Amino acid sequence: MGIFNRSKSDTDTTASNPAQAAGVATAVADAPVSVDLTGDYTIDPSHSRLGFSARHAMVTTVRGAFGEFTGTAHIDAANASASTVALSIPVSTISTGSADRDGHLVSADFFDVENHPSITFTSTDVKRSGDDWAITGDLVIKGTSKSVTIDFESTGTATDPFGNQRAGFEGSTTINRKDWGLTWNAALETGGVLVSEKIKLEFDISAIKNV
């Protein structure tokens, strides 16, 4: 029975038992506070990560991330379809822990950064079910636009020491890089290829609500 639907006997018992009354008060105080997510946000790149991973030589996983990006979002908690997201990533900021590999990735074999300096994502549809969000949008890589859906989970809200209201989200999706013209590969003597076609994209987002 909820604490706001107690019978008279429950109330009498609580009133006559100070320890129980204190426990009820503590439970109410500790209840999570609902924060309205609705508003305009700017993604904080210093506390966010846009990462990716791919299988290498069929036996291990190489992980990387983009060091710079800009993004905005409009969140409508009551009407998710009215929400929007836009993201721009300078390809030259790619980092996998190997300068040689990073140089190869920005070359014409892969991203061709001289002719296609940015990756962009613009949402076209947003759906919500509780803390789960599905954001569909146009992902443009190397001049090719394809629709992708990224599943996100809301990880909570907080007010930081500087008074900023933050909202956190974690998400991921898997794409086939060949769909965007990233076709370079090398065959292995033992069979298979050097770089997997499937790439997992990973998002850890901290967004600041605009004042």
Q: State how far the alpha carbon of 186 is from the alpha carbons of 107, 109, 183, in Å.
A: 16, 12, 10
Predicted confidence at residue 184, as pLDDT, reads 87
3-state secondary structure at position 25? helix
Q: Report which of 125, 143, 145 is spatially closest to residue 135, judged by C-alpha positions.
A: 125
Give residue 194's pLDDT: 75
pLDDT of residue 195: 86
Annotate 62-100 with b (16+ C-beta within 10 A) or e (fewer): bebbbeebebebbbeeeebeebbbebebebbbbebeeee
pLDDT digits (tens, 9 = 90+) for 145-187: 999 999 999 999 999 999 999 999 999 999 999 999 999 888 8
Pairwise pLDDT comparison (122 vs 1), residue with the higher score:
122
Question: How far is the C-alpha of 87 from the C-alpha of 60, rounded, in Å?
Answer: 29
Q: What is the distance between the alpha carbons of residues 18 and 39, in angstroms, rounded to a whole number?
A: 43
- Give the per-residue pLDDT at 35: 60
Predicted local confidence at residue 189, as pLDDT = 67
Percentage of residues of the chain with pLDDT beyond 70? 80
The pLDDT tens digits of the residues spanning 4-60 come to 333 444 444 444 454 444 443 443 334 343 468 999 999 999 999 999 999 886 778
Give the model's pLDDT for residue 10: 43
What does the alpha-carbon distance between residue 29 and residue 144 come to, in Å, rounded to a whole number?
52
Mean pLDDT score of the chain:
85
The encoded tokens of residue 23 equal 């426990």
| Residue bearing the bigger pLDDT, 141 or 59 | 141
Residue 21 CB partners (closer than 8 Å, separation 6+): 14, 15
Nearest to 152 by CA among 181, 121, 182, 176: 121
The rounded distance, in Å, linking the Cα atoms of 61 and 137 is: 27
pLDDT at 9: 41
